[in-house]
Chains A and B, each alone.
Chain A
Amino acid sequence: MAVAPPVAVEVDGVDKTYPDGTHALQPVHLRVAEGEFVTLLGPSGCGKSTLLKLMAGLLPLDAGRLALWGQPPAQLNAGGRRLAFVFQSPTLMPWADVQTNVRLPLDLARLPAAEAEARVAEALALVGLRGFERALPNALSGGMQMRVSIARALVVRPQLLLMDEPFGALDEFTRHKLDAELLELWRQRGLTVVFVTHSIAEAVFLSQRVVMMAARPGRVTDELRIAEPYPRRRDFLVTPRFAEHAKALQDSLYRASGEALESA
């Protein structure tokens, strides 16, 4: 039996209320192992984005403990590890070309130019955008802009990738394509991924484990393992196994939301 991989993300009784009084998140407990692909799935207002932003250190904690490899998110860099965050929209600088956008985190960290250039080239190759270095974002399709955003995440060579509904605004075909590419990257690079979505199909297709959440107040209601082998290809989407997993997730989600409605 293999040694269990170290814990990458550790969430202990984390709780969040926004200044306007919205109780975004009831105490959450969650562990993500190194190299794991975990999806947070739930309806709008369930706190899945809040939880992800807490992991990224973008929001302060109200209570509880949150650690990445045993460190608070702010101290992750000191331990030589990096996290990267991918937003719902590509969040690119519209005035800067693709290579400048991808280089941004390296420039902010004042990496030497030669190394930065090599890393940008590598990241662009990983997302299939070689040859688009000088293009401006507005010259690219939505899917390509998202690829730039992913390249900008990969360029820091992260161990942890946090993704907040990254493909939610894309059409179905582009989304499937990017989902498949993401799985490839995850396997190649040995990343730990926490992925937020409200799409059941996307959650089943991508994840090893799905954490289900419900709204008002935001909380974790259930957890399901998708014990299917990788690589997963497009035909996985039309297998009975896929349908079973999707149904299990759906039942669980509706059960949780139903409870919330009754208690409201």
Chain B
Amino acid sequence: MTAAAAAASPQRRRIERVAYPLALAVLLVALWQGLVTGLKLPHYLVPSPLLMVQTLVTHFGAFMSALAVTLQVTLLAFVLATVVGVAVSFLFVQSRLVETTLFPYAILLQVTPIVAVAPLIIIWVKNPTAAMVVCAALVALFPIIANTTLGLRSVDPDLQAYFRMNGATRWQTLRRLRIPSALPYFFGGLRISSGLSLIGAVVAEFVAGTGGTGSGLAYQVLQAGFMLDIPRMFAALLLISLTGVLLFVAMAWLTRRFIGRWHASEM
């Protein structure tokens, strides 16, 4: 491959990565609209994409404030999960004993369904936003712990020997070797957890919403369900999905920004 071709191909790949899925989306939306119009499907069963957008526009204010609420819970939970997850990982790699003792409980966190625990958390934590943040953070926590711990341990053994041979302190080894080695794994964890934070936030809103509080996107879905306002339900779902995609894209950008120059996954 010539140098020019090698330089052009990543750019082309980036365009393809956006253009191809977008083309598919246009095709599917057109098909959807066509089917709904052609088969005269009632809008209380399947609303057309056009109606969905119309609903979104008419209730724009309500949707945006709902989005703001969900986004706030999601982001707070994501930050909380990241901070706690990284702290736990650092604790884990300090000694095998600590990891062996605590890791089963981390798994417990992962396998316990949040819907089952959420009512309890909502009862315990008085502030509804804080309660939802805790729920969502619990959902998002495990991938950060698992990935960062794995990353902090995945150090080239020869490099580790080199550091030891040169009398590196524990802190020097952590800062100059373990943390950079862990970054690709950590970002992998972020990617998974960003999506899980959103799922956690929506689930928490559902649980909280049934109790009469909350005003996020999930509450919109719930309300729309009660009133059989299916177009509004679809519009809320669309916003939730778009938020998830946006979070993913943001994480991908962050990953490229920090490890894109050297890590094989970004080459």
Contacts and interface: CB of A to CB of B under 8 A. Distances in A.
Interface in B180-211: 180, 183
Given A93-B177, A95-B180, A57 B165 contact: yes
A108 B180 contact: no
A91 B177 CA distance: 12
Interface residues of B, number: 21
B262 A95 contact: yes
Contacts of B168: 108
User: For the complex, would chain B's binding face be called helix, strand, loop or mixed by DSSP majority?
Assistant: helix
Contact of B180 (A57, A93, A104): A93
B177 A95 contact: no
Best-buried of B176, B180, B267 by chain A (most CB within 10 Å): B176
A91 B162 contact: yes
Interface residues of A, number: 21
Interface string B252-267: 0000000101110001
A87 interface: yes
Given A94-B262, A95-B183, A95-B259, A108 B163 contact: yes
A100 to B, nearest CB: 9
B228 interface: no
User: For the complex, would chain A's binding face be called helix, strand, loop or mixed by DSSP majority?
Assistant: loop
B165 A56 contact: yes
Interface in A100-155: 104-105, 107-109, 136-138
B167 A58 contact: no
Interface stretch (B115-123, B153-161, B239-247): B153-161
Interface of A: 56-58, 77, 85, 87-89, 91, 93-96, 104-105, 107-109, 136-138
24 contacts: A56-B165, A58-B161, A58-B164, A58-B165, A77-B167, A85-B162, A85-B165, A87-B158, A87-B161, A87-B162, A91-B159, A91-B162, A93-B177, A94-B262, A95-B261, A95-B263, A96-B180, A104-B162, A104-B176, A105-B166, A108-B163, A108-B176, A109-B166, A136-B261
